[in-house]
Chain A
Amino acid sequence: MTTVNDVCRHVRSKNAGPFWVTIDLFFDGPESFARYATSPSLDAEHIAALFQTDPELVKHFPVPSLNVLKISYPRATPQGGVVERDMHSGQQYVRLLDHVLD
């Protein structure tokens, strides 16, 4: 069983404007990138389920030169609302760390 944390040297999340969150998965090398960046378990449906968002709006951007997969999705609630728990979305990546890739 391989998790995101096993094959990434760094994972981070951040707001990209008030309505979007973006997650960067820095894989630990070209082999992990080639093997896991297109993993079905990181597809729009899985991401949407993890982050309560619309799968139609989830975007994937592989950046092979950096061994990075960027995933962007709309926030479940706009930044700064009544029950804001993570103003800058800086901790949202954490729930992806134990996500199983294969």
Chain B
Amino acid sequence: MDPIKIIVPVGSLGAGVRDIELDYGIARGARVIATDAGSTDSGAAYLALGMSKNDRGSVKRDLTKLMRAASEANIPLVVGTAGQAGGDKNVDWTLDIVREVASELEIRPKVVALYSEIEKPRLHALRQAGRVKPLPPLGELAPETIDSCDHIVALMGPEPYMAALRQGADIIVGGRTTDTAVIAAYALLHGAAAGPAWHAAKVAECGAQSTARRRGSGVLISIDDTGFEIEPLERDNLCTPESVSAHMLYENADPFRLHEPGGVLDVSGAIYTQHDDRTVRVEGSRWEPGPYTMKLEGAGGGGFQTVMLIGIQDPEVLDRLGEFHDRMLESLYRRVQTTMGADAGDFHISLRIYGWNAVSGDTPPEGTPLPREVGVLFVATAETQELASQIAKACNAYFFHFPLNPEKELPSYSFAFTPADIDRGQVYEFKLNHIVEVDDPMELVRTKWFELQDAAR
């Protein structure tokens, strides 16, 4: 079998694809371009809101380069986890850009959208049928948890992509998918060995992150019967056995075994060798087939927040920050209770002292040097944005003037903005860490083909 070469142009669509790298990969014989466009990394807001993290302009710039290169080379372009979270809205947002770019480039690719968002009644039914299982640290899925989600997706495996490629798709815009499945799909369809295909996809999924100098954006992987090779698409960069093997550590709870739909990638026996100056060869990656499960992600909104920020240089406050924090917090709670009473509803205030303990939340050890100044972030969380805003406004003067020594004149701290309070929006959380057992990889997936000549405006 000829090795199957795959361009992974960038760690995430919108981060900055480079034409020179695409040209290099295509000249080296790439048969497909594959990239993911998101992850859960940046939090639940993007799934809950159906919103992209990258702005439209940067995604459009990348898609323009990718669609032009793929069209000229007559190879498919595969995008997974579209629009950061891969919910239906995120997919449609991306499709809209694909249509616009196709029209501007005057090309007519066959476009396929793969959706994996799950309606709540369907998940309730799957749960009742005993097909939903928890992953630690969460327990059994409660029906209320399903109801508390705004959007729920199942992570697709490679099969929906393989089916679309088999039927001649030029561009695939996939919803939520495992990063690896997006990249491995083409190779698996064309008969590559499963272990090397999945492992190559894993080390390539963050683009140039698995290279030694981290220059450029992407990598080229080349998968054959016994292993795979990986090289940077930027010529002035290289892969080393360490840079490639260390990538299995990144963001993975387990560096040796990666659970995927339909099996486990086991790299504990993988051997990494320097193949030439820039290329690493990897052999010994194993794929263990297993039951077909899809991981679920669900995101929903909680309370709403309003924030305020002050700076403090007063040496007396800096000397007694712990006491200052506790007493100010108590006074702010009292202020809300006396002014708003029960109208404030179920609310929460936190004060985070940047420069002292905002990140850790704990008491700095004895002997920690005093900061020259600190920033105090006030965060009110309430049931509505209006209430959070009212709470912040009620606290404004107390936050601004809180005296450490009531005998003395009132101090004034340093606000950075006017108005001082900023409505920050809703708190978003991931609610699910569960898997669902499916009979068929396509069971929860909807495939939609688009004829762009009809859509062209």
Contact = CB atoms under 8 A, between A and B. Distances in A.
Interface of A: 14-20, 22, 24, 54, 57, 59, 61, 63, 65-66, 68, 70, 72, 74, 78-83, 85-88, 91, 94-95
B137 A14 contact: no
Interface stretch (B64-72, B353-361, B400-408): B353-361
Contacts of B242: 66
21 contacts: A15-B251, A17-B40, A18-B44, A18-B430, A19-B433, A20-B253, A22-B253, A24-B249, A65-B245, A70-B255, A72-B254, A80-B43, A80-B428, A80-B429, A82-B302, A82-B303, A82-B427, A83-B348, A85-B359, A91-B359, A95-B360
Instruction: Kindly name the residue among A19, A57, A68, A86 whose own CB sees the greatest number of chain B CB atoms within 10 A.
Output: A19
Contacts of B338: none
B210 interface: no
A85 B430 contact: no
A26 B61 CA distance: 38
Given A15-B41, A16-B252, A19-B137, A83 B350 contact: yes
B435 interface: no
Instruction: Kindly name the residue among B256, B428, B430 whose own CB sees the greatest number of chain A CB atoms within 10 A.
Output: B430
A18 B40 CA distance: 7
B352 interface: yes
A81 B429 contact: yes
Given A18-B40, A24-B249, A85-B361, A79 B429 contact: yes
A54 B350 CA distance: 25
B340 interface: no
A91 B360 CA distance: 8
A17 B253 contact: yes
Contacts, number: 94
Contacts of B138: 19
B250 interface: yes
Instruction: Kindly name the residue among A59, A72, A82, A91 whose own CB sees the greatest number of chain B CB atoms within 10 A.
Output: A82
Given A80-B428, A80-B430, A82-B348, A63 B249 contact: yes
Interface of B: 40-45, 135-138, 242, 245-246, 249-256, 272, 302-303, 348, 350, 352, 358-361, 379, 381, 427-430, 433
A88 B41 contact: yes
Nearest to A14: B251
A10 B350 CA distance: 33
Contacts of B348: 82-83
A57 B137 contact: yes
B40 A54 contact: no
Contact of B252 (A19, A22, A78, A85): A22
A59 B303 contact: no
A81 B303 CA distance: 9
A66 B42 CA distance: 28
Given A17-B40, A66-B249, 7 more contacts: A17-B433, A61-B254, A61-B255, A65-B245, A65-B272, A70-B255, A95-B360
B450 to A, nearest CB: 32
A65 B358 CA distance: 37
Contact of B43 (A20, A68, A74, A87): A87
Contacts of A86: 359
Nearest to A75: B137
Contact of A66 (B40, B45, B135, B246): B246
A57 B253 CA distance: 11
Nearest to A26: B246
A78 B253 contact: no
Contacts of B302: 81-82
Contact of A14 (B250, B256, B358, B433): B250
A16 B253 contact: yes
Contacts of A82: 302-303, 348, 350, 381, 427
Contacts of A68: 246, 249, 255
A79 B136 contact: no
A78 B137 CA distance: 10
Contacts of B253: 16-17, 20, 22, 59, 72
Contacts of A88: 41-42
7 cross-chain pairs, A with B, having the tightest CB-CB distances, nearest first: A74-B137, A18-B430, A72-B253, A16-B253, A80-B43, A20-B253, A82-B381
Nearest to B350: A83
A100 B246 CA distance: 26
